[in-house]
């Protein structure tokens, strides 16, 4: 950081994307990191398991990094933490529930012991160098969410976390609206506010609506009821449990994350399920169907999750039968639509009564992210001089800027940033003039950051057109062909039709080598290059496919 700039703010993830949120507030030599999420790869990133933020800049400045503050326990805010801590073992601060979910991850990665976890709540105060941090409660779709206030000598910076204003939340966790108003009155130099629903007019509906619809469906259901939602949406789980109590049903939990999160939520007092109410899935068949409800994972169409397996009859010991009711109590995240509708189709095929629908149209889902009126209320309460819209794709950030201007943020005072863009603040004036290097880190099996563009490019070619290996055994002394060519193809064309093609390829290979011999170009690299070109061109002409050509020369 330049010596003149005291306060700097930047994102290492979360800009122009939904996922892998990571925001940084730096005052002089103290760096505080907010959140460390992951993101799931799209289909172009073949074989990649996860995407996490590239934290090389923080590694280079590790002596300055004081803390990781976690606003809430969703994957796009905590999913990168184990990978982060393995590189940079710093103290982690989060609420009781958030820490519960983080601990599950640390155990999986076997780094619980060496991690320093600090529980905070909305009354906590923390100091890092000259930054004093306070917190305020926000409502979202998971318990125990915080926004963060940074008091710095340059002025106050606020990060909202993910939020909506649910004035009648299903739990008794209300937004700290009065505290937000006080912070606004004290003065906010710069606000980082989430943008997920900046395109949607109106206000986000309250979670209680879902509870009412769930209860109605439970009352109507004549046989088993299966409700699938995000395991972390504990309010929705609680409302489902309440509906089961009212309709005299026991509850079975299907799916590992459902079991894990329910355990954390119950242990820590966020979910109240009466003793004896939870049954083992194996007991389902012992009860009359109208006495059974299930909570299950897989609402996003995940192929290995409980709902998908139920829909294809592959969930051991639990069977869906005609007349059972299945409730999809979650909207599909963009990109998952087709997987979800495939499951809906399968459920209907089994004769289930399926309650589903895009967005909140079925009444079984409401968003956890504020719509335009919620975002305007946050801006109105905070009255920031500057806004950095975060947590959104470009069009969302863009709309958030328009909303800010509509409620009084001056034109030019909203910064639409890319990951790595730095806003420096000096004497009350914010400027974006520089950026730090960052990007995506790919998790591929156990490899973190090992897979780059070359491997992905190869995977793309292999995935679409397959490959052809050409093995030539050649004499070391005179560079003549001793045996071969042997050719092996995989993923290219089906062999029954390609015998003749491969015969032609073999002849072409021999011709190419002979021609080169004549031209006296007997260098291995040149032979390989010419073979690749000749065979590749020939195959493309014949098949319109471009398999990867791998010539291997064995010297004997």
The answer to whether 46 contacts a copy of itself (rule: CB under 8 A) is yes
The answer to whether 478 contacts a copy of itself (rule: CB under 8 A) is no
Q: Which is nearer to a copy of itself, 167 or 406 (CB)?
A: 406
Q: Which is nearer to a copy of itself, 277 or 482 (CB)?
A: 482
We find the least distance from the C-beta atom of residue 223 to a copy of itself, in angstroms, to be: 18
Identify which range of 153-161, 171-179, 246-254, 543-551 contacts a copy of itself by CB under 8 A.
543-551
We find the least distance from the C-beta atom of residue 472 to a copy of itself, in angstroms, to be: 9
The answer to whether 346 contacts a copy of itself (rule: CB under 8 A) is yes
Residue ranges in 91-110 that form contacts with a copy of itself under rule CB under 8 A? none
The answer to whether 466 contacts a copy of itself (rule: CB under 8 A) is yes
Choosing from 168, 349, 433, 515, the residue that interacts with a copy of itself (CB under 8 A) is 349
Evaluate the CA torsion angle 174, 177, 182, 187 in order and state its sign.
positive
As a whole number of angstroms, the distance between CA 320 and CA 299 comes to: 16
Q: Is 321 exposed, middle or buried (0-12, 13-18, 19+ CB in 10 A)?
A: exposed
The answer to whether 486 contacts a copy of itself (rule: CB under 8 A) is yes
Q: What is the DSSP letter of 522?
A: -
Q: What are phi and psi for residue 96, nearest 5 degrees? A: -55, -45
Closest alpha carbon to 217 in 325, 294, 295, 319: 325
The answer to whether 481 contacts a copy of itself (rule: CB under 8 A) is no
Query: Total residues contacting a copy of itself (rule CB under 8 A)?
Result: 64
3-state secondary structure of 345: helix
We find the least distance from the C-beta atom of residue 303 to a copy of itself, in angstroms, to be: 10
The answer to whether 42 touches 335, Cβ cutoff 8 Å, is yes
Choosing from 450, 515, 519, 526, the residue that interacts with a copy of itself (CB under 8 A) is 450
Neighbouring C-alpha atoms within 13 Å toward the C-beta of 194: 29
Q: Is 366 annotated as a binding residue?
A: yes
The answer to whether 482 contacts a copy of itself (rule: CB under 8 A) is yes
Compose the 398-427 pattern: x for residues touching a copy of itself by CB under 8 A, - for all others.
Answer: x-----------------------------
We find the least distance from the C-beta atom of residue 360 to a copy of itself, in angstroms, to be: 13
Neighbouring C-alpha atoms within 13 Å toward the C-beta of 84: 35
- The CA-atom distances, in angstroms, between 314 and each of 228, 307, 346 are 16, 10, 12
We find the least distance from the C-beta atom of residue 352 to a copy of itself, in angstroms, to be: 11
Q: Is 461 exposed, middle or buried (0-12, 13-18, 19+ CB in 10 A)?
A: middle
As a whole number of angstroms, the distance between CA 53 and CA 449 comes to: 10
The answer to whether 477 contacts a copy of itself (rule: CB under 8 A) is no
The answer to whether 395 contacts a copy of itself (rule: CB under 8 A) is yes
Q: By 3-state DSSP, what share of the chain in percent is helix, strand and coil, each rounded to 5? A: 35, 25, 40
The answer to whether 446 contacts a copy of itself (rule: CB under 8 A) is yes
Q: Which is nearer to a copy of itself, 251 or 549 (CB)?
A: 549
As a whole number of angstroms, the distance between CA 522 and CA 550 comes to: 18
We find the least distance from the C-beta atom of residue 249 to a copy of itself, in angstroms, to be: 26
CB under 8 A, 24+ apart: contacts of 531-534: 531/470, 534/508, 534/509
The answer to whether 83 touches 54, Cβ cutoff 8 Å, is no
- Chain centre distance of CA 332: 13
We find the least distance from the C-beta atom of residue 341 to a copy of itself, in angstroms, to be: 7
We find the least distance from the C-beta atom of residue 422 to a copy of itself, in angstroms, to be: 19
The answer to whether 27 contacts a copy of itself (rule: CB under 8 A) is no
The answer to whether 111 contacts a copy of itself (rule: CB under 8 A) is no
Identify which range of 150-158, 294-302, 433-441, 491-499 contacts a copy of itself by CB under 8 A.
491-499
The answer to whether 140 touches 98, Cβ cutoff 8 Å, is no
As a whole number of angstroms, the distance between CA 282 and CA 470 comes to: 54
Q: Is beta strand 481-490 parallel, antiparallel or unpaired with respect to 467-474?
A: antiparallel
Identify which range of 137-145, 233-241, 383-391, 544-552 contacts a copy of itself by CB under 8 A.
544-552
Q: Which is nearer to a copy of itself, 488 or 519 (CB)?
A: 488
Residue ranges in 245-274 that form contacts with a copy of itself under rule CB under 8 A? none
Q: Which is nearer to a copy of itself, 37 or 551 (CB)?
A: 551
- CA dihedral 534→535→540→546, nearest 10 degrees, is -120
Residue ranges in 283-342 that form contacts with a copy of itself under rule CB under 8 A? 334-335, 337-338, 341
Q: Is 367 annotated as a binding residue?
A: yes
We find the least distance from the C-beta atom of residue 387 to a copy of itself, in angstroms, to be: 17
Strands annotated E in 162-247: 188-194, 225-228
The answer to whether 9 touches 34, Cβ cutoff 8 Å, is no
The answer to whether 543 contacts a copy of itself (rule: CB under 8 A) is yes
Q: Which residues are annotated as a binding site?
A: 365-369
Binding site feature residues for substrate: 365-369
**Given the rule CB under 8 A, which residues bind a copy of itself?**
16, 42-43, 46-47, 334-335, 337-338, 341, 344-346, 348-349, 354, 393-395, 398, 444-447, 450-452, 454-456, 458-460, 462-467, 469, 471, 473, 482-484, 486, 488, 490-494, 497-498, 542-545, 548, 550, 552, 554-556
């Amino acid at each position: 950081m330049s010596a003149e700039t005291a306060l700097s703010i930047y994102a290492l993830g979360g800009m122009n994307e939904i996922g892998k949120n990571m925001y940084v507030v730096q005052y002089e030599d103290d760096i505080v990191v907010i959140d460390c999420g992951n993101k799931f790869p799209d289909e172009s990133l073949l074989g990649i398991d996860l995407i996490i933020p590239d934290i090389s800049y923080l590694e280079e400045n590790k002596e300055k990094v004081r803390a990781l503050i976690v606003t809430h326990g969703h994957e796009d805010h905590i999913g990168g933490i184990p990978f982060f801590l393995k590189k940079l073992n710093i103290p982690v601060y989060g609420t009781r529930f958030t820490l519960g979910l983080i601990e599950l991850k640390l155990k999986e990665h076997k780094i619980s012991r060496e991690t320093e976890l600090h529980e905070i709540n909305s009354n906590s105060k923390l100091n890092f160098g000259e930054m004093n941090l306070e917190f305020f409660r926000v409502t979202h779709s998971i318990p125990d969410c915080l926004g963060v206030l940074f008091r710095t000598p340059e002025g106050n910076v606020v990060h909202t976390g993910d939020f909506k204003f649910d004035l009648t939340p299903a739990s008794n966790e209300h937004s700290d609206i009065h505290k937000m108003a006080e912070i606004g009155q004290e003065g906010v130099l710069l606000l980082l506010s989430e943008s997920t629903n900046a395109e949607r007019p109106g206000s986000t509906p309250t979670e209680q609506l879902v509870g009412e619809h769930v209860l109605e469906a439970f009352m109507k259901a004549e046989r088993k009821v299966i409700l699938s939602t995000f395991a972390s949406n504990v309010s929705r789980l609680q409302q489902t449990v309440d509906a089961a109590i009212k309709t005299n049903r026991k509850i079975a939990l299907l799916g590992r994350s459902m079991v894990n999160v329910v355990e954390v939520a119950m242990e820590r007092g966020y979910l109240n399920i009466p003793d004896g109410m939870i049954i083992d899935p194996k007991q389902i068949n012992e009860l009359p169907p109208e006495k059974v409800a299930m909570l299950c994972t897989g609402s996003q169409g995940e192929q290995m999750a409980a709902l998908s397996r139920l829909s294809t009859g592959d969930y051991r010991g639990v069977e869906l039968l005609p007349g059972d009711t299945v409730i999809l109590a979650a909207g599909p995240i963009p990109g998952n639509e087709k997987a979800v509708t495939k499951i809906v189709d399968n459920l209907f095929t089994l004769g289930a009564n399926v309650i589903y629908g895009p967005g909140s149209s079925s009444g079984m889902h409401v968003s956890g992210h504020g719509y335009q009126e919620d975002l305007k209320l946050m801006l109105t309460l905070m009255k920031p001089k500057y806004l950095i819209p975060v947590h959104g794709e470009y069009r969302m950030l863009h709309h958030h800027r328009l909303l800010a201007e509509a409620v009084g943020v001056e034109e030019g005072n909203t910064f639409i940033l890319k990951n790595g863009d730095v806003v420096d603040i000096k004497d009350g004036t914010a400027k974006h003039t520089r950026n730090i290097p960052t990007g995506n880190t790919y998790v591929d099996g156990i490899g973190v950051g090992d897979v780059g563009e070359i491997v992905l490019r190869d995977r793309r070619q292999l995935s679409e057109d397959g490959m052809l290996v050409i093995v030539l055994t050649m004499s070391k002394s005179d560079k003549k062909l001793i045996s071969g060519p042997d050719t092996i193809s995989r993923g290219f064309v089906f062999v029954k039709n390609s015998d003749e093609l491969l015969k032609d390829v073999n002849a072409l290979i021999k011709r190419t080598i002979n021609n080169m011999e004549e031209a006296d170009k007997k260098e291995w690299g040149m032979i390989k290059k010419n073979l690749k070109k000749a065979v590749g061109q020939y195959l493309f002409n014949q098949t319109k496919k471009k398999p990867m050509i791998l010539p291997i020369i064995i010297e004997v």
